[in-house]
A and B are shown apart, each in its own frame.
Chain A
């Protein structure tokens, strides 16, 4: 059974650009969450999607957005990139909303220059 797949693994962008990250959950999992990990702030919750609807949102500016498709795959978008957006972005999938069993992907390392 394939794990959570995140693409791309590494990304370098320039300030002001926008970026889209992709996450394919484990087959059969319908809930996808996104987290940002930085050395200063640690791991912080961005948002959670279930059945193509955002169910929970963390305390991030509106530049951070996401969506989920009918096949449960999810994308997150960051517009007008800032240097502080440089981070490891982790996607987690679980069978259902609030399901305890959570599996994380390897992450996308975003560097903003």
Chain B
């Protein structure tokens, strides 16, 4: 059974810092991996999608990497801003059913 873990559970950093969020999963037979952002009381916004055959994806200040063999993904946020404050969720696409299995998230707070 696939399990997805995110570390740390919460993170507070000063504005301008570069930071790394971690995601680990137990079964490497994945379809893809997606990083989402969730603001309080809101739905999910997709940030980056990495297919199982890819190693990384970049969008603006965000970079996500995937190492299937070790069951790890990282989300790198450069030059963090207060507007980046949100919960970041990692979701692994199951290769058999395509359903997403989510981590418990990292709650990020960027201080001005």
A interface list, Cβ under 8 A from B: 4, 6, 33, 35, 42-45, 48, 56, 58, 88, 90, 92, 97-98, 100-107, 109
Contact = CB atoms under 8 A, between A and B. Distances in A.
26 contacts: A33-B99, A35-B102, A43-B91, A43-B100, A43-B102, A45-B99, A45-B101, A48-B98, A56-B98, A56-B99, A58-B99, A90-B44, A92-B44, A92-B100, A100-B31, A100-B34, A100-B49, A101-B49, A102-B34, A102-B46, A102-B100, A103-B46, A104-B43, A106-B43, A107-B42, A109-B41
Given A48-B98, A98-B98, A42 B43 contact: no
B63 interface: no
B43 A48 contact: no
Interface in B51-105: 51, 89, 91, 93, 97-105
Contacts, number: 56
B32 interface: yes
Contact of B51 (A56, A100, A107): A100
Interface residues of B, number: 24
B44 A42 contact: no
**Which of B49, B93, B102 has the most C-beta atoms of chain A within 10 angstroms of its own C-beta?**
B102
Nearest to A31: B98
Contacts of B91: 43
B44 A104 contact: yes
